Chain A
Amino acid sequence: MDPTTLIFLAFILVLSIFLGFEIISKVPATLHTPLMSGSNAISGITLVGAVVAAGSAGNETMSIILGTLAVMFATINVIGGYLVTDRMLGMFKKKPTGDKK
Chain B
Amino acid sequence: MTVDIIVNLIYIVAAVLFIYGLKMLSSPATARKGNFVSAIGMFLAVVTTLFVKEVVEFQWIVIGFVIGAIIGAFAARLVAMTQMPEMVALFNGFGGIASLLVGWEAYHANPLADGMTITTIFLSILIGGVTFSGSFIAFAKLAEVIGGKPTLFVGQKIVNALLFIVILATGVLFIIDPAGSGNLVIGLIILSLVLGVMVVIPIGGADMPVVISLLNSYSGLAACAAGFVIQNNILIVSGALVGASGIILTNIMCKAMNRSLANVLFSGFGATTQSAGGEQQGEVKPIVADDAYLILEAASSVAFVPGYGLAVAQAQHVVRELGDLLEANGTDVYYAIHPVAGRMPGHMNVLLAEANVPYDKLYEMNDINPIMSTIDVAVVIGANDVVNPAARHDEGSPIYGMPIINVDQAKTVFVLKRSMAAGFAGIQNELFFAPNTRMLFGDAKESISAIVAEFKEG
- Asked whether B337 lies within 8 Å of A29 as measured between CB atoms, the reply is yes
Known: A1-B117, A33-B347, A54-B60. A43 touches B219 (CB 8 A): yes
Q: Does B174 contact A (CB under 8 A)?
A: no
- Asked whether B55 lies within 8 Å of A95 as measured between CB atoms, the reply is no
Q: Which residues of B contact A43 (CB under 8 A)?
A: 92, 95, 216, 219-220, 222-223, 238-239, 242
Q: Does B232 contact A (CB under 8 A)?
A: yes
Q: Which residues of B contact A5 (CB under 8 A)?
A: 231
Select one of A20, A66, A87, A93 contacting B245, CB under 8 A. A20
Known: A35-B346, A36-B344, A91-B353. A20 touches B241 (CB 8 A): yes
* B10: min CB distance to chain A, Å: 11
- Asked whether B35 lies within 8 Å of A72 as measured between CB atoms, the reply is no
- Asked whether A85 lies within 8 Å of B98 as measured between CB atoms, the reply is no
Q: Which residues of B contact A37 (CB under 8 A)?
A: 84, 87-88, 91
Q: Which residues of B contact A50 (CB under 8 A)?
A: 64, 98, 101-102
Interface string of A59-93 (1 = CB under 8 A from B): 01011101111111111111111111111111111
Rounded to whole angstroms, the CA-CA distance of A58 and B101 in the bound complex is 17
- Asked whether B241 lies within 8 Å of A31 as measured between CB atoms, the reply is no
- Asked whether B216 lies within 8 Å of A39 as measured between CB atoms, the reply is yes
Q: Does B99 contact A (CB under 8 A)?
A: yes
Rounded to whole angstroms, the CA-CA distance of A20 and B412 in the bound complex is 43
Rounded to whole angstroms, the CA-CA distance of A33 and B343 in the bound complex is 10
- Asked whether B35 lies within 8 Å of A75 as measured between CB atoms, the reply is no
- Asked whether B222 lies within 8 Å of A92 as measured between CB atoms, the reply is no
Q: Does B307 contact A (CB under 8 A)?
A: no
- Asked whether A36 lies within 8 Å of B64 as measured between CB atoms, the reply is no
Rounded to whole angstroms, the CA-CA distance of A89 and B242 in the bound complex is 19
Rounded to whole angstroms, the CA-CA distance of A67 and B97 in the bound complex is 12
Select one of A42, A44, A83, A92 contacting B31, CB under 8 A. A92
Rounded to whole angstroms, the CA-CA distance of A46 and B282 in the bound complex is 58
B21's nearest neighbour on chain A, judged by CB, is A38
Q: In the complex, which of the residues B64, B109, B227, B354 has the most CB atoms of chain A within 10 Å of its own CB atom?
A: B64
Q: Does B264 contact A (CB under 8 A)?
A: no
Size of the B side of the interface (Cβ < 8 Å), in residues, is 116
Rounded to whole angstroms, the CA-CA distance of A5 and B84 in the bound complex is 39
- Asked whether A47 lies within 8 Å of B349 as measured between CB atoms, the reply is no
Q: Does B23 contact A (CB under 8 A)?
A: yes
Interface string of A39-57 (1 = CB under 8 A from B): 1111111111111111111
Rounded to whole angstroms, the CA-CA distance of A58 and B334 in the bound complex is 61
* A97: min CB distance to chain B, Å: 9
Known: A1-B114, A37-B84, A45-B234. A29 touches B61 (CB 8 A): no
Q: Which residues of A contact B81 (CB under 8 A)?
A: 88, 91
A74's nearest neighbour on chain B, judged by CB, is B98
Known: A6-B116, A79-B73. A70 touches B347 (CB 8 A): no
- Asked whether B237 lies within 8 Å of A16 as measured between CB atoms, the reply is yes
* A24: min CB distance to chain B, Å: 4
Residues of A that sit less than 8 Å from B by CB = 1-3, 5-6, 9, 12-13, 16-21, 23-58, 60, 62-64, 66-96, 100
18 A-B pairs with CB atoms under 8 Å apart are A17-B244, A21-B248, A29-B346, A39-B246, A40-B95, A44-B42, A49-B230, A51-B49, A55-B50, A56-B57, A66-B104, A69-B101, A71-B63, A71-B64, A74-B98, A79-B76, A88-B84, A96-B356
Residues of B that sit less than 8 Å from A by CB = 18-19, 21-23, 25-29, 31-32, 34-36, 38-39, 42, 45-46, 49-50, 52, 54-58, 60-61, 63-65, 67-69, 71-73, 75-77, 79, 81, 84, 87-88, 91-92, 94-95, 97-99, 101-102, 104-106, 108-109, 113-114, 116-117, 120, 212-213, 216, 219-220, 222-224, 226-249, 252, 324, 337, 339, 344-347, 349-350, 353-354, 356, 358-360, 362, 364
A18-B244, A32-B346, A52-B54 are known contacts; what are 13 more A-B pairs with Cβ within 8 Å? Answer: A20-B241, A21-B244, A30-B346, A33-B350, A38-B21, A40-B92, A52-B52, A56-B55, A70-B102, A70-B105, A71-B64, A78-B68, A89-B31
